[in-house]
Amino acid sequence: MDAQARQLIGLIDNITYSFGMQSLEGRCCNENISHGEFRALQVALHQTICTMQDIARSAAVTKSGATRIAKRLEEKGLAIRQQDHKDGRICCVTPTEKGQTLLNRIEDQLMCKMREILAAMDPAMREILILSLNAFVQAAKPRGVHVNPQREMCCAIEEKDTLGNG
């Protein structure tokens, strides 16, 4: 099993290097966004609510690292941060329209890249790959951790008057 573990480590390293989202400058898909910022935007867009803890988990950073990521996203106009109206200790992040547009563009680029790779594979091998990777990811998940997908909605965005009246 040690030989298989070494082989798998090498394969994962090659996949990460060959098919990763970062350019040599550390930007995601040649956009002015880091990989951590991309992950934070993804989680903010695809979750009902997105806290600093969610960002920290998705980007594999500490909560203070997540706060710095959220601050950079806000400075770039890609997301907004706001306090939870029920618990002021909780800060939620929501993508702006500009952030959603950027994320959609990056995801489209990644889909195009993946389609090219998958098109070069035999259809049966594609199925085996997907089944195998799903099994691997499931086996790698920590045991006993349960996240409630029906979490209470917080940080409801207050609609602002488009005329600037508040």
- Whether 69 is covered by a domain: the verdict is yes
Domain hosting 110: range is 20-138
Query: So what's the pLDDT on residue 19?
Result: 64
Distance CA 73, CA 30 (A): 16
Is 0.75 topped by the overall pTM?
no
Distance CA 58, CA 37 (A): 10
- Whether 9 is covered by a domain: the verdict is no
Instruction: Find out whether 41 and 95 touch, Cβ atoms under 8 Å.
Output: yes
Query: So what's the pLDDT on residue 129?
Result: 95
Query: So what's the pLDDT on residue 142?
Result: 74
Q: How many helices (H) and strands (E) does the chain have?
A: 6, 2
Query: So what's the pLDDT on residue 7?
Result: 92
- Whether 91 is covered by a domain: the verdict is yes
Query: So what's the pLDDT on residue 32?
Result: 79
Distance CA 43, CA 49 (A): 9
Query: So what's the pLDDT on residue 71?
Result: 94
Query: So what's the pLDDT on residue 132?
Result: 94
Distance CA 27, CA 61 (A): 17
Name the residue among 34, 5, 2 with its Cα closest to residue 139.
5
- Whether 8 is covered by a domain: the verdict is no
- Whether 125 is covered by a domain: the verdict is yes
Query: So what's the pLDDT on residue 29?
Result: 56
Name the residue among 132, 117, 122 with its Cα closest to residue 4.
132
For the chain, state the CA radius of gyration: 19
Query: So what's the pLDDT on residue 59?
Result: 84
Instruction: Find out whether 69 and 134 touch, Cβ atoms under 8 Å.
Output: no
**CATH number of the domain residue 96 falls in:** 1.10.10.10
- Whether 145 is covered by a domain: the verdict is no
- Whether 152 is covered by a domain: the verdict is no
Tally of structural domains, the chain: 1
- Whether 43 is covered by a domain: the verdict is yes
Low-confidence stretches of the chain (pLDDT < 70) are 17-31, 143-166
Q: Is 35 helix (H, G, I), strand (E, B) or coil?
A: helix
